[in-house]
Amino acid sequence: MDLGLKGKVIVVTGGSQGIGKGIVEALQAEGSIVINFDVREPTYRVEFLRVDVSKSQEVKGGIEQVIAKYNRIDAVVNNAGIESYGSVDETSEEEWDRIMNVNVKGPFLTSKYSIPYMLKQGKGVIVNIASIQSFATQRRVAAYTTSKHALLGLTRSIAVDYAPTIRAVAICPGSIRTPLLEWAAEQEVGKERIEEKIREWGEIYPMKRVGEPLEVGYLTAFLISDLASFINGVCVTIDGGLTALIPVSTPKR
Ligand SMILES: NC(=O)c1ccc[n+]([C@@H]2O[C@H](COP(=O)([O-])OP(=O)(O)OC[C@H]3O[C@@H](n4cnc5c(N)ncnc54)[C@H](O)[C@@H]3O)[C@@H](O)[C@H]2O)c1
């Protein structure tokens, strides 16, 4: 199936590794022109602009550079995100602000500065990488969970304010195998037992494994494409069935 994404100009934030890299690779395979806004240099072939998504001037400058070079911006994928552990009383104000600035203000800024160009060209798509922690939460991730809940609000706001010209969609992944997931495993069990911990998490999933970045990449490519032209203002969950499961035992057959 041709997604019709050849030559489309698409900004992906946080595309240097993890889910962002999977998204870039899926889009590149469709022939899109992808510009990666990241604070970390990529170690593979992708056009790269050093942009901290929480810094207004850097985001504005990055979007202007894309427009100066390609004269259009067909889609923005807000993927850059950070996580840290802590319940509310454990979370410092500085940490709260750091998480909110990257995970919520970042997508606000990229949207704010790209929407005028999308309106001018008469079309555009914004995809926000949220989380299954946009509607439920693990323990002791208060700031992160709050930021991912907020991202659904931003998605819905853009969806209703700019339809039918611009569509906005959120993707809510469960555990995906990335450096961030490895970091999370290390926090719990130490460096030597990362693999074991990720396998253990995978066992909780009906699919018996965690997800892969490319699986999120394929979904993103579909949602940006015109094949998804009536999908707007919703969150598409990609979690191997985890949130369909109530983890309370029943008799064996
Ligand atoms: N991995 C998972 O299990 C999982 C599950 C649900 C949602 N998510 C979300 O998916 C997104 C990507 O997660 P990941 O696991 O690939 O993370 P990751 O840490 O492996 O990669 C994140 C990328 O974002 C970049 N980044 C961080 N702060 C930035 C900033 N201020 N400006 C620009 N770039 C910045 C990093 O340099 C890195 O390249 C995040 O929003 C995360 O919350 C991840």
Domains and CATH numbers, the chain: 9-176+212-240 (3.40.50.720), 177-210 (no CATH)
Taking residues 73-102, what's their average pLDDT?
98
Give the closest residue (by CA) to ligand 1 atom 29. 80
What was the pLDDT predicted at 159? 99
Active site residue 144: yes
- The residue whose CA is least distant from atom 23 of ligand 1 is 14
Q: Given 144, 162, 205, 218, which residue is catalytic?
A: 144
| Nearest ligand 1 atom to alpha carbon 130 | 7
Give mean pLDDT, residues 88-96: 98
Atom of ligand 1 at shortest distance to CA of 42?
39
Calculate mean pLDDT across residues 77-89.
98
Within 13 A of 187's CA, how many CA atoms are on the CB side? 12
| Phi, psi (degrees; rounded to nearest 5) at 150 | -60, -35
What is the Å distance from ligand 1's center to 129 Cα?
9
Range 17-28 average pLDDT:
98
pLDDT-derived band at 51, boundaries 50, 70, 90: very high
pLDDT of residue 63: 99
State yes or no: pLDDT of 58 exceeds 90: yes
What is residue 1's predicted lDDT score, i.e. its pLDDT?
Answer: 80
Q: How far is CA 148 from CA 100, 101, 213, in A?
A: 9, 12, 18
The overall average pLDDT reported for the chain is: 98
Q: What is the mean pLDDT of residues 214-234?
A: 98
Cis peptide bond N-terminal to 164, omega within 30: yes
Convert the pLDDT of each residue in 67-78 to its tens digit: 999 999 999 999
What are the Cα distances from residue 3, in Å, to 40, 168, 179, 180, 235? 29, 18, 29, 29, 20
Interval 244-249 mean pLDDT: 93
165: exposed, middle or buried (Cβ count in 10 Å: 0-12, 13-18, 19+): middle
Within 6 Å (CB) of ligand 1, which residues are found? 13-14, 16-20, 37-40, 52-54, 79-83, 102, 129, 131, 173, 175-176, 178-181
Expressed in angstroms and rounded, the spacing between residue 82 Cα and the centre of ligand 1 is 6
User: What pLDDT, on a 0 to 100 scale, did the predictor assign at position 220?
Assistant: 99
